Amino acid sequence: MACGIPPQGTESDRLSVGTSAGEQRFMSDAKYEKGRLLTDIGGILQNMTADWDTSFDGGVTAATRLIGDLSFESIDVVQFIVALEEHFNRRDFPFEKLLMQDGRYVEELTVGEVVEFLHQQQP
Domain edges within the chain: 11-120
What's the helix, strand, coil split of the chain in %, to 5?
A: 40, 10, 45
CA distances from 57 to 50, 52, 69, 70 (A): 11, 11, 9, 9
> Tens digit of pLDDT per residue, the chain (123 long)?
333 333 334 333 333 333 333 333 345 556 789 999 999 999 999 999 988 887 777 789 999 999 999 999 999 999 999 999 999 999 999 999 999 999 999 999 999 999 999 999 987
CATH number of the structural domain 11-120:
1.10.1200.10
pTM attached to this predicted model: 0.74
CA distances from 100 to 61, 90, 94, 105, 108 (A): 22, 20, 11, 4, 11
